[in-house]
Amino acid sequence: MTKKKSLEEFVEECRKVHDDKYNYSITNYTRWDCKIEYTCPIHGVQSQRADNHRRGMGCKLCGRERIRKTFALTTEKFIETCKKKHNNRYSYPDTVYVNYESAVKIECARHGEFVQKAGCHLIGSGCQKCAVFNKSSGPALKPADYDEFVGLSITVHGDVYDYSQVKYKNHYVTVDIVCRDHGPFRCTPTVHLKGKGCATCQNFDAFVQKAKSIHGDKFQYDKSTYIRSKTKMRILCREHGEFWQIPADHARVTRKGGFYCPSCSLENKRLTIDEVKERSRNIHGLAYKFDKLVLGKSLEEEAIFYCIKCAKYFSQKPVNHLKGSGCSWCCESKHEKKIRNWLQTMDYQFESQKRFPDLRYEKSLRCDFYLEQFNLIIEFDGIQHFEPVEAWGGFEEFLRVQARDRAKDDYCTEKRINLLRMKDGQDVIQGVQDLIELIKANETGHVLHMIYGKLATF
């Protein structure tokens, strides 16, 4: 039996592969396919499968920035570069280049105008109709070198795979190709150019097709979390948000059509007003009053609640209220509610959504909680702080979230403010208790920053 790697062995291998670029002080390694976290010196905490990181995959944001810098061109320079790359095969009468991610119009002599991502075209991708034509003519798809193979591959597959690990010899010698969602796989160039790609992606596509035949467009599916049909993946319900479920179960036909999200099962339940009040108090404590609460035919119909904190009425679906959503004016997550309730129970004085006059990024920033007696800021970070989430604005908003987080971290360091950052999966009450006790016992004058369970002092 192969000996299991220790954390120290794994980190040492990663340092060699990545030339000691990343910090692994927060890394927790259990096995080759586990999710690990590490710190990029530029973009902060990153999450990735252990085997993918050890094989050379690093910070995605760094990679995208390198590409952006490489492809910072004028329209004239873009056209000139593309003509050289494609041997004047295409013309560009209506092309306007903005950046490598933008779509550009390109003219194919055989098939007319087509639209393509600028970055893909720059590194070799061309007309998709030509690619389909060439795929059926076998001998035409025998690239002479690495660059030609990558260009043809992008034409066939689009910007789906990373070819940085390919050591190209000829069209029939197996190469290592990296799926951006599921990691490395091996394939011969000829087979890859015939359309073969990542097997996990192909299984995922088959799963999505079957799931949509049962559920329609009710759900969105996170490709990066799909591993196999019997392993839970992240699914987004358009009404109730994300949940985790086994793909094989989700796509299984039942009397009701299939497995839905847990919150959907509440929709058709009938509860009395007293039952709603009781459940609300179990979830939210004494944060709300119900003097105008009237229930409709189902929990999906809007009802009126009163927030004691901000002294305002707000409208909300009871089904959402009973799964943790609260006052729309306060915008607190369920974890923030736990923290608030505990602080109130302990009679600690605090400010929520605290603003500091000189804490800004694009605009004034708010901190979840500030306890003046401990000079402590508490932040709870949801999934949108660690990866792009379409429901939260996708990749562009993710970059802004990361930038705002760095601005807060830097502010706390500069102003010597104690900082506690927590994320989903942590015991938030225990986290607050632990850091407060450390602050009380701190006689050195050091500032304490507890980031996702790891302590740093300044």
**Domains, the chain, ranges and CATH?**
7-68 (no CATH), 73-133 (no CATH), 146-197 (no CATH), 204-257 (no CATH), 273-322 (no CATH), 334-456 (3.40.960.10)
Number of Cβ within 10 Å of residue 286's Cβ equals 10
- Count how many residues are written for the chain: 458
On the CB side of 5, how many CA atoms lie within 13 Å of its CA? 18
- Contact at 8 Å (CB) between 221 and 208? yes
Strands 363-371 and 103-108: unpaired
- Contact at 8 Å (CB) between 185 and 201? no
List, in order, residues 6 or more apart from 449 with CB less than 8 Å away: 409, 412, 413, 418, 419, 420, 421, 455, 456, 457, 458
CA dist 309 and 330 (Å) reads 8
pLDDT computed for residue 328 by the predictor:
61
CA dist 406 and 384 (Å) reads 14
CA dist 291 and 277 (Å) reads 11
Going residue by residue through the chain (458 aa), what tens digit of pLDDT does each one get?
346 778 898 899 899 888 899 999 999 988 877 889 999 999 899 988 888 788 777 888 887 777 666 667 888 988 988 888 787 888 999 898 887 777 889 988 777 888 888 877 876 778 876 765 554 444 446 777 888 888 888 877 777 788 888 888 888 889 999 988 788 888 888 888 877 888 888 788 788 878 887 777 788 887 777 887 888 888 888 777 778 888 888 877 554 445 667 666 555 456 788 988 888 888 788 889 999 998 887 777 888 999 887 788 888 888 778 767 777 666 667 788 889 889 988 989 888 778 888 898 877 788 989 999 999 999 999 888 888 776 667 777 888 888 899 999 989 998 999 999 999 888 899 999 999 999 998 888 889 999 998 888 77
pLDDT computed for residue 67 by the predictor:
62
Helix (H) or strand (E) holding 76: helix 75-85
Give the torsion sign (CA, 219, 223, 224, 229).
positive
Q: Alpha helices, DSSP H only, in 158-266?
A: 189-193, 199-215, 247-250
- Contact at 8 Å (CB) between 386 and 45? yes
- Contact at 8 Å (CB) between 251 and 210? yes
Query: Can you state the angle between helices 428-441 and 334-345, rounded to 10 degrees?
Result: 50
- Contact at 8 Å (CB) between 426 and 378? no
- What are the angstrom distances between the C-alpha of 75 and each of 80, 123, 155? 9, 16, 21
Q: Tell me the two tokens of residue 436.
A: 């407060």
Number of Cβ within 10 Å of residue 16's Cβ equals 10
CA dist 242 and 222 (Å) reads 10
Strands 175-179 and 161-162: antiparallel
pLDDT computed for residue 265 by the predictor:
59
Q: Which residues of 234-252 are buried (b: 16+ CB within 10 A; e: fewer)?
A: bbbbeebebbebebeebbe
Q: Tell me the two tokens of residue 316.
A: 């909300």
pLDDT computed for residue 417 by the predictor:
96
* Identity at 389, one-letter amino acid code: V
Q: Which of 251, 184, 265 is nearest to 221 (CA)?
A: 251
